Every structure is written in structure tokens, then in C-alpha cells.
Amino acid sequence: MKMKKFMAVLLVAITMLLVLGGCGNTKTEKSSSETQTGETAKEKPTTATLILYGEGSERMSDFAANEFHDKVLEAINVDVTVQYLPWSEYAGGKTELMLSTGEKFVTYTDVQFLAKCVAKGYYADLTEAADKYAGDLKKNCGGEEGFDTWKIDGKLYALPFGNKPNAGENYVIIAREDILKEVGMTDLKTVEDVEKFYALAKAKYPDMIGFSRGGIVPQMLNGAIASEMNVHRLNSFVSTDGNKPEDSTVYNYYASDEYKQACEIIRKWNKMGLIPSYALSNGSQADAEFSNGKALFAVGASYRVFEYEDMVRKAAPNAVFKNYYIGDVSKKPLMSRGTYSTAFAVSANVEGKEKEGYVKLINLLQSSQEWVDFILYGVKGKDYNITDSGQLEMINSDTLFDTWLPDNINFKRYQSYITKDQIETYENWNEGSIPQKDLGFVFDVTPVNTEYAMLQAVEQEYFQPITYGFVDYDEAIGAALKKLKNAGIDNYVAEYQKQFKDFYDNKK
């Protein structure tokens, strides 16, 4: 009897030990699981809005909302949304309104708009965040020099993006080389060559227009005019001599003989029909004609050969573009702005982790061949393939990110129809060029903000018709210059001269 009682007690004790032991194990495993989850779980994503300009394609809308969004979220834990604004809203308009009302976003900027926005407190200081999270940008987009371009008073307000040979941007004419060869010509070296090509092409293709995308910029004729000055337009109103690197003198460009000579050639072109009648009043129509393969000329730049062929070949499958310098490049070398392509600025009220997320986002998009391929071409096997020779074969014809935006010679790929000559020309484009005199200079327009606004209005109303050749220079320039003077051009040039000289006196 005692033995039975003892065995019963022992059985209960063993059972309790097993139960307690099981409970203990369960508790231990749960704690371990909780610790592991706590160690691996990501923080809540920060949000970012990326503003692009133009009009997003159907595929881009799908790509931005799905593959792009998901890949960015996985890589850097940023929940990104892509929005588009019309180009008319860039560096002003709705963009400036969004900045002034405190909306949070990142978009590209230029040096002139940067200075204006920093003066108004519209851009965030990115210095510390960039030191932590922009290492790939610094490595791939021009190093410290690339970053210095976007600093004011030692603080970084925009992130450089892209890296491409850019000498002579807007100083060359890009033309349809396929049609040039078709009409029996091989080169465009003079004003007369341009006129001859237009006449021959027009006879063969009556619906073809002359100048289109980019409008008319007088510096395209810098090499053709009779002047020793290598005109470097610092902005619309101010120029300097690019061939005199130690000279900080600036000039009122619209009062110069160089502008007069260019306008006389452009007036002749207008009368000949090289400039369509709607070029000034309806630039979007000229752009449309260009996109449809019905234009011979546009404002040139090294990289636009590829950008324009990608665009125009959808309508004209055999289109080929080439840049031509009108004049003697040995006397007036093309001027380069270093590695600068564009830059991204973040609106001012973005702070803390959110600001770091924006910097991580822009850095990511220039971090590797994989990421540049992804934003330009999409998903491999779905949107594009790469040939054995490393060239592109597109499956999707819709544009994703504009090809000019992340254009970086470190990650450059070429469409399968791009020739070896085109590639070699592009990759060696900057050879023989000289640096722009304003590298690292940012003009603070604040002291002459009123004058600048008035000058822009005068430029549009009185100078654009002269620049495009719709009115005769000699007949219109007197009244236009008087309006410019009344708007404050002398104060504006004096302020620009002061800041530019200070920059020269203090630069390393």
C-alpha cells in the first residue's frame, strides 16, 4: 500500500516536472523568436516624392508604381512616388509654388535656380546627409569638384547627377546626317553649308522644317561670326570671353557686336524658311515635328545624338543625328562645365530620417550599372535585352526615365543601331575643349531680383523676336536696348561683375 502511494506521488512529481519543463522551453523559444524578429524587422519606411518633367509614358506609370517602387523600397526602405509636371513649370511656375508652400519633394535644378531658391529658403541643406549617404554619387558623378558646383557658403544644396562629356552644349547644331548624305553632302562647316543642306532637303522633302527642338540660340553661330571673342554666355544677359581664363570681365550680351552678327545670320535664315513661322509662338509644335522625324536641325550637344535617335526613330526608323560645329574650333574651342549634367535638390522642410531617405534615393540611382540600366531601360527580358557585344535591344518602346537624366559615361550603354564612330566621337568629345570660366560660381540674384524679373519680361517681348529673326536687328534693337536699360540692365551687370570678380579673386 505504501509502495502504491509512493509510486503515485512520484508519477505526479514527474508529470509536473515535464509540464513545467515544457512550459519553460516554450517560453524560451518564444523569447528567442521575439528577439530574432526584433533584430531583423525593418523600420517604418520613409516617404519620398520624385518630381520629373514632361509626360510619363504608359509603361513609365506602371513601372514607377510597381517595379521601381518595390525595388527602391527593398534596397533603401524608402516609399517613393513619382509625379510629373510639364516642362513649362521647371525652375519656376508650379515648381516654385510647391516649394513656397512647403510641399515635400525632390527634383532637378540648375545653378541659377539654385541660388534663387537658397536665397528664399526653399532648398534643404544636404551637407551632413550627403556626407553619410552620397558616396556613390561622389565616386561616379565628378568627385568633390562635382559637389562644389552645388554649394553656397560651404553648404551643399543639391546632389550632382550624371557624368558625361558636355563641351559646347548649345554651341553646336545637331542635324539629320542620314538626309545630309542622301542629298549628296558630307559635312556642315559654314553658314552656307547649312543653307545649302536645307535647300536640297526641302526640295526632296517639302514637308520638312528647318530648326525645331530647342529653338534658336545665337551661340550656335559663335564660330561663324567675325569676332575674336569666344563668347561664353553666363546667362541670357551676361557674357564673358571664354578664351581669357584670367579675365573676370563680363558684358551685356544683348548690347554686343557678337549678338548683332548672329542675329543678322538668323534673320536671313528666317526669310529663307529655315525657322518655321510658329517657332516663337508655338514651340511645342516645332518639338512635335521634330519627334515625328520632320525636322532637319536642333540645338546640339554631345549626348543628344543618342537621345534624339531614340526619340525620332519611332517615327523615322532610319534617322541618324550628328553634331556640327559651324566655324573653326581651333580658334574658339568648345567650353566644358566638367562632369555636370544636372542635380537634384530637396525642398526645405524635409528633415531628419526623411531627408536622409531622399539622399539615399538619389545616390541609389547612380550607384551601379544595374541601377542605371533599371531606371533607363526597365526590367531585363521584359523591357530590354543586352547583346553579346553589350549593346541594347529594346523590347519596350515607351520611355521610362528620360535618357539624358542619368546619363553617365561610367555606365553608358548604346542602342544596337549606334555606330562605332558615334561612340568614339562621344567618348572623346571633350578633347581639345577648355573649362568654362564660371565653374563653381553661383550668382546670387537677390540684390537685383526686381531688375531680373523686369529684364526677363523685356527679353521675351523685345529680344526674342530679334533673336529668332522675325524682326530686323537694325530696326528693332534701339527700342529693345532702351527697354533693357529702363528695366535695370546696368545695375544687373554691375552686380554680376562684382560677384564674378569676387569669385575670381578668391577661387583656388
Three-state SS letters, 407-465: CEHHHCCCECCCCHHHHHHHHCCCCCCEECCCCCCCCCCHHHHHHHHHHHHHHHHHHHH
Residue 92 DSSP label:
S
CA 170 to chain centre: 14
Asked if 337 and 439 touch (Cβ cutoff 8 Å), the reply is yes
**pTM for this prediction:** 0.80
| Local structure of 322: helix, strand or coil | strand
Interhelix angle 473-487/257-272, rounded to 10 degrees, is 130
In sequence order, the β-bridge partners of residue 123 are 347
- For residue 148, what is the enclosing H or E element? helix 143-148
Question: Residue 242: what are its φ and ψ, rounded to 5°?
Answer: -65, -20
| Local structure of 353: helix, strand or coil | helix
Separation CA 136–CA 156 (nearest Å): 16
State whether CATH 3.40.50.10470 applies to domain 46-163+341-382.
no
Separation CA 55–CA 8 (nearest Å): 84
| Local structure of 95: helix, strand or coil | helix
Q: What is the pLDDT of residue 508?
A: 58
Separation CA 366–CA 362 (nearest Å): 7
Separation CA 462–CA 473 (nearest Å): 11
Per domain, the residue ranges of the chain are 46-163+341-382
Q: What is the pLDDT of residue 34?
A: 34
Asked if 174 and 297 touch (Cβ cutoff 8 Å), the reply is yes
Asked if 216 and 275 touch (Cβ cutoff 8 Å), the reply is yes
Separation CA 210–CA 298 (nearest Å): 8
Question: Residue 329: what are its φ and ψ, rounded to 5°?
Answer: -70, -20
| Local structure of 100: helix, strand or coil | helix
Residue 228 DSSP label:
S
DSSP track, 9-64: HHHHHHHHHHHHHHHHHHHHHHHHHHHHHHHHPPPPPEEEEEEEES---HHHHHHI
Separation CA 286–CA 298 (nearest Å): 10
Q: Are strands 392-394 and 384-386 parallel, antiparallel or unpaired?
A: antiparallel
* The three grid cell numbers given for residue 507, joined into one nine-digit string: 577661387
Separation CA 214–CA 289 (nearest Å): 12
Our CA angle for 455, 456, 458, nearest 5°, is: 65
Asked if 157 and 127 touch (Cβ cutoff 8 Å), the reply is no
Q: How far apart are the first and last CA of the chain?
A: 105
* The three grid cell numbers given for residue 336, joined into one nine-digit string: 566644358
Asked if 158 and 114 touch (Cβ cutoff 8 Å), the reply is yes
Our CA angle for 199, 262, 210, nearest 5°, is: 30
Question: Residue 227: what are its φ and ψ, rounded to 5°?
Answer: -155, 140
| Local structure of 166: helix, strand or coil | coil
Q: What is the pLDDT along the chain (508 residues), one digit of tens a residue?
A: 444 444 454 444 544 444 444 444 443 333 333 333 333 457 999 999 999 999 999 999 999 999 999 999 999 999 999 999 998 899 989 999 999 999 999 999 988 889 889 989 999 999 999 999 999 999 999 888 889 889 888 899 999 999 989 899 999 999 999 999 999 999 999 999 999 999 999 999 999 999 999 999 999 999 999 999 999 999 999 999 999 999 999 999 999 999 999 999 999 999 999 999 999 999 999 999 999 999 999 999 999 999 999 899 999 999 999 999 999 999 999 999 877 778 999 999 999 999 999 999 999 999 999 999 999 999 999 999 988 887 888 999 899 999 888 889 999 888 889 999 999 999 999 999 999 998 878 888 889 999 999 999 999 999 999 999 999 999 999 999 999 999 999 999 999 999 999 999 987 5
H helices within 231-385, ranges in order? 257-272, 283-291, 304-312, 352-364, 369-377
* The three grid cell numbers given for residue 173, joined into one nine-digit string: 547644331
- For residue 252, what is the enclosing H or E element? strand 251-252
Separation CA 436–CA 145 (nearest Å): 13
